Each structure stands twice: as C-alpha cells, then as structure tokens.
Amino acid sequence: MPAHDFVSPDSIRAQFSAAMSLMYKQEVPLYGTLLGLVSEINQQVMAKQPEIAAALRWTGEVERLDQERHGAIRVGSAEELATLARLFAVMGMQPVGYYDLSSAGVPVHSTAFRAVHEQSLHVSPFRVFTSLLRLELIDDLQLRELARSILAEREIFTSRALALMTQAERDGGLRADDAQAFVQEALHTFRWHRDATVSAEQYRRLHDQHRLIADVVAFRGPHINHLTPRTLDIDAIQAGMPAKGITPKAVIEGPPARRHPILLRQTSFKALQEAVAFSDAQGSHTARFGEIEQRGAALTPKGRALYDRLLEAARAASGGSPSEATAERYMTLLQQSFAEFPDDLAQMREQGLAYFRYFATDKGLAERAQAERPQTLEGLIGAGHVHFEALVYEDFLPVSAAGIFQSNLGDDGQTQYGSNANREAFEAALGMQVQDEKTLYAQTERRSLQACAQALNLGSL
C-alpha cells in the first residue's frame, strides 16, 4: 500500500486529543466549565497585551492554543506501559523524560508521551503524563501479591485496538477509516468505569496502603484522571475559579509570575467523590480532578540549574513543601528568590538560560542581497534582520507533579518511600529509552537557525 494513503500520525493525535476532550467533558462537566474560563481569559490576554499575541503569532502557538492540553494516566504493570508506548507511537507520541515521584511519597515513576518535532507539536501538542505504579515499594508482601494478581488479570486494551496497533506497525501507518476506528478503540482504554474489579474490603486494604494504589489496581483500566488546558494567565484563572464554583489548591506550582514566563506553572482543584460499585457493595472513590497550566520558556541546563536552586531556596525558607497554611508566605518567598532570574528575553538569551527560536524578519528578507548587511547572529539581531522568541516548554516538572499528586491525594498520611529513582527499571518496563528533552529543544533551536540562515542566504548561523 503506498504511504500516501496513510493518515499522518500527527493527524491521528489531533483527532485523539479532540475525542478525549469530548469524552472527558461528558464524564466531568466541570472540565467544560474550565475550558470556558480558560478560553475567556486567553481572549482577554491577547486583546489587552498585544505583545503576547504577537509573540504567539511568531511561534505559531496561537494556532495550537485552543486545542492544547495534557492528560494524565497511571498504569499497573510493565506490559501495560509497553503496550501504551505502542499505542501512542501510532499517534506520533514518544516517551520524553523520566520523573521520579517516590522521593515525594508517591509510589510511581513517570514519563511524558508527546510529539518531539516542532512541526508535529504545531499540529497537535497533546501530551500524556504517564505513571507506572511501583509495586516493589509496597512493603506489605501479601498486599503486593494481591495487587499483582489483580493487575495480571486485566486487559486494558480492546482487541480491535491491539489489532490496529499491530497493523500500523506492520504496514507503517493507518488509512483514514482505520485511523478513525483506532481513535475510537483507543478511547476505551482511558474511559472511567464505575464498576470496580475488587471487593469493598480489597479496595479498603489497597486504599489504606496508598490511595493511588487503589486508584490503579481497583479498576478495569487507566482512566484519564485529568485533562489540562493551557492558559496565558494562570493568576487570572486562579482568581476567577471561585466565581465559577471551583476551589483551586492554595499554591500555584512552579516558578512565580513573571513578565516572561518560564517552564510551567500549574494549579489544580480537588476531585469529586464518585459513586463506585465494588463486586459486593456500593461505595465511592475520588479519581478525577481538574488542572490548568501556563507554559513559558524551555530552559537550558544552566537555566534549569538556576531554576532548581531558586525553587529549593524558597521551599527551604518556607520550611519544606508549601501547604494551605504556608501558601501566602511561600508565594512571597518564591517571588523574592526568583528576583535573581532575569525577566528579560534578551538577557535570558545572552546568559544562555533558555532555548530560542529565530525568525528572518521582513527587513532581513528585503535586505538579504545587500553586501553591507551583518553576517553574524548578533549583528543580524541588532540590525532587526532576525527576530527571536523563547521556545515553549513542552514537558513537566517533578516537584510540581508531586505537588499536584499530593493535593489530590489529600495532605493526610504522607507516605515515605525515600529516594528511589530507577530510570533503568522504568526503561526496561517501557521497552525503550526515554528521550532527553534538552536535546530535543537544542535540535529545534538549531533547525530554526538553519532555516533563518537559508532564508537570508547565509551559509550558516
């Protein structure tokens, strides 16, 4: 079959992202409310701050903003994780980054499945934060065995989804009708099931060990636990949530508010209790929650080291992980700590703190035949021939993720697992290595410089 009959993985991902959003809106109506608020505030920001709208037009993010979202799931075994990797690969999503959450008292480690090339991200930036439960961290051996045997019996993929995955791998793609069927079949894996696979007593034992263990083990599949839209002003969202009947967590995770956002700021609100049918009784479970995020510049290793240091300093000064009680003081300390991080794109670029994308300007194009024009990047920028914008961060932050997990698990009964990062074990379960996000950002930056050089008729930049 000729390759041109196949739907591009990017387009399958875009379809899947839209289908997930529709499904989640039906499952959790509050998510629809949130989407409304986010789109309202994004419009306001673009109208009131034309410089932000202009930057988003340069990078093309303006075209992806409305469909931009991430989801999160938790799986229970290596087989489930490895098959998910195959499922996501059909949609052009690859595992990027390794996140250890055990040091924050959550018995999982994680990666993010996402597109890796800027052109693909432009079509659909949909990403899924995917966590693998670490049964080996359950110290009650009997319970560990119970969890393992329950998980061993479930099949989280439909047989049609599995067949279409195999077909896509064999043929190198899917045609339109198969792609559409694949999206519908894949959705089933992420659906909420109100009927649990365990008895009320088994649920209680799993839950008493850790609420997250019950969430993974007691159900038929890895229900999507949140879908997160991207806002241009998370402080406005945080302030606007109560009026919509939503109570956000007290602390916005990540860096403080800045003129030029960096990395990722996130806030969430607690899950509602949902009715569940155990095998022998009725009960309830809190599974799904809401989250909103604001994305900023991807940082270089140097910028990230500075970020980590300043964040750690603020947390240490406030006496550890911020809570409801220390929220206000923590936000002040955070703001003070980050005064050291330049809030100016030119400085961030000169100091090598962030990754950038470069664009030939109309002026640069008009003057590209002139012998006198500058030849170096700095000269071209100075002369207005090249424009730059920060490259947006496409990934997650371990400290923030831990804060999001914790806020939805409740502050009660913090479990200690020590620091147990084990990337090799995660990659063994996944069946492949995770990609390094910094390498991907550096490649995008490099490609934008090459495109600039070509547009301006220069050998290289």
CA 284/CA 220 separation, integer angstroms: 15
Binding mask 391-430 for ligand OOG (x = CB under 6 A): -----x---xx--xx-------------------------
Element (H, E) at 449: helix 437-455
For the record, the structure tokens of 289 come out as 């929650």
Quote the crossing angle between the two packed helices 159-171 and 176-190, to the nearest 10°: 140
Min dist. Cβ of residue 273 to ligand OOG (A): 17
Beta bridge partners of 71: 128, 227
Which residue in 290, 107, 283, 132 sits closest to 211, CA to CA? 107
Q: 3-state DSSP call for residue 242? A: helix
Which residue in 230, 297, 310, 293 sits closest to 262, CA to CA? 297
Do 156 and 220 meet the contact criterion of CB atoms below 8 Å apart?
yes
CB nearer to ligand OOG: give 168 or 264. Answer: 264
Do 69 and 228 meet the contact criterion of CB atoms below 8 Å apart?
yes
CB nearer to Ni ion: give 112 or 276. Answer: 112
Binding mask 63-82 for Ni ion (x = CB under 5 A): ---------x----------
Q: Considering CB distances under 5 to 8 angstroms, the limit depending on partner class, which of ligand OOG, Ni ion, none binds residue 441?
A: none
Min dist. Cβ of residue 30 to ligand OOG (A): 16
Which 124-143 residues touch ligand OOG, going by CB under 6 A? 129, 131
Q: Does 265 bind ligand OOG (CB under 6 A)?
A: no
Q: Does 59 bind ligand OOG (CB under 6 A)?
A: no
Min dist. Cβ of residue 403 to Ni ion (A): 11
Point out the residue whose Cβ comes nearest to ligand OOG. Answer: 401
DSSP 336: H
Which residue in 199, 212, 261, 286 sits closest to 391, CA to CA? 261
Pick the binder of ligand OOG from 13, 69, 74, 127 (CB under 6 A). 74
Q: What are phi and psi of 285, to 5 degrees?
A: -150, 140
CB nearer to ligand OOG: give 134 or 349. Answer: 134
The single residue listed with the structure tokens 């934060």 is 129
Min dist. Cβ of residue 237 to ligand OOG (A): 15
Q: Does 111 bind ligand OOG (CB under 6 A)?
A: no
Spatial CB neighbours of 149, under 8 Å, sequence gap ≥ 6: none
Q: Considering CB distances under 5 to 8 angstroms, the limit depending on partner class, which of Ni ion, ligand OOG, none binds residue 74?
A: ligand OOG
Pick the binder of ligand OOG from 59, 189, 202, 266 (CB under 6 A). 266
Min dist. Cβ of residue 359 to Ni ion (A): 31
Pick the binder of ligand OOG from 12, 37, 55, 72 (CB under 6 A). 72
Quote the crossing angle between the two packed helices 159-171 and 78-90, to the nearest 10°: 60
Which 211-230 residues touch Ni ion, going by CB under 5 A? 228
Could you tell me if residue 254 is left (phi over 0), alpha (psi between -120 and 50 degrees) or otherwise beta?
A: left
Contact residues for ligand OOG (CB under 6 A)? 72, 74, 129, 131, 225, 266, 291, 396, 400-401, 404-405
Instruction: List interacting residues with Ni ion (CB under 5 A).
Output: 72, 228, 291
